[in-house]
Amino acid sequence: MVTSRSANGGQSWSNPVATSTTGNPDKNWIVCDKTSSSAFYGNCHTEWDNTADGNRIKLQASSNGGQTWGPARNSGDNATGLGGQPLVRPNGTVLVPYANANVTQIRSFRSIDGGASWRATVLVSSVSDHPVAGGLRSEPLPSAEMDAAGTAYVVWQDCRFRSGCASNDIVLSKSTSETTWGPVTRVPIDSTSSTVDHFIPGIGVDRSTSGATTRIGLTYYYYPAAACSASTCQLNVGYVSSTNGGASWSAATNVAGSMSLSWLANTSQGRMVGDYISTSVLPSGRAWPTIAVATAPTGGLFNEAMNVPTGDCQSAVGQRERRPPAWSSPAPAQPPNEHQESSATNSLWTPRGAQRFPAPVAVACQAPLSHCTMTRTCWGLGTQLSTMTVPRWSPSSGRVATSSSDPGARLPSQPAGSSTKWTLRPPKAALMAARSAAVNPWTGG
């Protein structure tokens, strides 16, 4: 197992250094202590399980930012398990939620001395798991994050709230004490009577927030109908958010899909999009999930890649926000007239009220605006957009407005599967005024 480091936000990486040369490492996860007041500030910790030793959990620490690593250590009770995700509290304590080896419990353990030693494990919760249909590879592995005050959040797939364990919800437990965990609560993505099956969650927490104002982003895969087969299951990716530490949640947004299972790479344990995913929420509130999305194979080759939002398709946690479009060239220094279509572009997809649009999305200004043709895709596939907007036009610069506070003109919602092109006209009074004064007729409507 090796580790590479980046000092510029991932733009470039160092040559890898050996972290461990023993055993058979699986599912490693790295975290670093970034709290300047911590006695162990700058320490990094990597967790992995050794499949050559019954999935024995191993922890290694680095005191120099990952340049060199110390010996592999066990938990205080020599635990075995899968999918551990270490978290660092502001006081320097390292907390590691994980699933036990037969994936029937979520447990955790900690270090209070910078990773020099580890305590025995404690129970977070038992697990009730509905086997995901269609032979998709999926287990109730935890996804975990920490807020600014040191509250740990852990989520996993679980069917305890469903009659007959007919499908999975995403459930959440929190800890403020390092050794005890709160009750398991259901993330209410849909009703408990729905047919939807939710699995493979990835939680993100804004580390600048805490308590009742903690901002959370949660990405997950799902089937609209849990009772499906390998040939009929339709795999999607969803997203919800909370601005109050999980006390309430936004409406769900469909991020990608649907995908047929035959589009996914096959493994000895089933078709696979990954054993886990992750979501990161930045202090601005924008969430950055990383997900595997597939399209139909071509030429005998799979089209399955890891995707993140582009700069213009970021999600906003608990807020609506738009970015101006990226034009290939400036718009002409004249306003459109009532016989011209103005180019439309997508806003950010957000956790509230998003609509599904056909993919891919290509829009173009009509003559005499043909030189500002553009194609916009979101998630690299053009699968999901939330609204369509017409940007404001600036006669002084000959360009569309570039201020993110400029909302532009709002287009009607477009139903899923629709290929309608909207022809937009400004109000006649505004149009006539614009022709007289050479001002933007779209302002105000």
Over residues 305-343, the pLDDT tens digits come to 999 876 433 334 544 333 322 222 233 333 333 223 233
pLDDT exceeds cutoff 50 at 29? yes
* Pair (256, 380) in one structural domain: no
Burial 335-351 (b: 16+ CB within 10 A, else e): bbeeeebbbbbbbbbbb
**Between 83 and 361, whose confidence is greater?**
83
pLDDT exceeds cutoff 70 at 146? yes
* Pair (31, 83) in one structural domain: yes
Q: What is the pLDDT of residue 442?
A: 31
Q: What is the pLDDT of residue 371?
A: 28
Contact (Cβ atoms closer than 8 angstroms) between residue 386 and residue 348: yes
Distance CA 71, CA 117 (A): 11
H/E element, 175: strand 169-175
Which band of pLDDT confidence, cut at 50, 70 and 90, is reported for residue 6?
Answer: very high
Q: What is the pLDDT of residue 310?
A: 65
Mean pLDDT of 265-288: 90
SS3 89: coil
pLDDT exceeds cutoff 90 at 220? yes
Domain C-terminal end among 270, 288, 316: 316
Distance CA 108, CA 360 (A): 43
Closest CA to 343 of 362, 365, 368: 365
- Domain boundaries, position 183: 2-316
Average pLDDT score, the chain: 76
The alpha carbon of residue 15 and the mean position of all alpha carbons in its chain are separated, in whole angstroms, by 28
Domain C-terminal end among 297, 316, 335: 316
* Pair (304, 338) in one structural domain: no
Give the model confidence (pLDDT) of 417-432 as tens digits: 433 333 333 444 444 4
Distance CA 346, CA 356 (A): 11
Closest CA to 250 of 282, 215, 223, 280: 215
Q: What is the pLDDT of residue 286?
A: 85
Contact (Cβ atoms closer than 8 angstroms) between residue 120 and residue 77: yes
Distance CA 339, CA 404 (A): 28
Domain C-terminal end among 293, 316, 339: 316
* Pair (286, 356) in one structural domain: no
Contact (Cβ atoms closer than 8 angstroms) between residue 171 and residue 183: no
Q: What is the pLDDT of residue 257?
A: 86
* Pair (290, 340) in one structural domain: no
* Pair (341, 312) in one structural domain: no
Q: What is the pLDDT of residue 118?
A: 97
* Pair (223, 363) in one structural domain: no
Considering the chain, what percentage of its residues have pLDDT values greater than 90? 64
Q: What is the pLDDT of residue 129?
A: 97
Closest CA to 116 of 39, 42, 60: 60
Q: What is the pLDDT of residue 69?
A: 96
* Pair (325, 312) in one structural domain: no
Q: What is the pLDDT of residue 384?
A: 32
**Between 362 and 200, whose confidence is greater?**
200
CATH of the domain at 172: 2.120.10.10
**Tokens representing residue 245 in the block:** 């530490």
Contact (Cβ atoms closer than 8 angstroms) between residue 215 and residue 280: no
* Pair (307, 188) in one structural domain: yes
Q: What is the pLDDT of residue 49?
A: 96
Considering the chain, what percentage of its residues have pLDDT values greater than 70? 69
- Other C-beta atoms within 10 Å of 300: how many? 5
Mean pLDDT of 202-226: 96
Contact (Cβ atoms closer than 8 angstroms) between residue 406 and residue 346: no
Closest CA to 131 of 254, 270, 261, 277: 270
Mean pLDDT of 14-22: 93
Distance CA 175, CA 180 (A): 6
Domain tally, the chain: 2
**Between 48 and 377, whose confidence is greater?**
48
pLDDT exceeds cutoff 50 at 377? no
- Cα-Cα-Cα-Cα torsion 400, 401, 406, 410, nearest 10 degrees, comes to 0
Give the model confidence (pLDDT) of 380-406 as tens digits: 222 333 333 333 333 333 333 333 333
Distance CA 28, CA 20 (A): 11
* Pair (296, 364) in one structural domain: no
* Pair (336, 285) in one structural domain: no
* Pair (98, 213) in one structural domain: yes
Mean pLDDT of 348-355: 28
Q: What is the pLDDT of residue 9?
A: 84
**Between 444 and 144, whose confidence is greater?**
144
**Tokens representing residue 40 in the block:** 């162990």
Residue pointed to by tokens 């509230």: 352
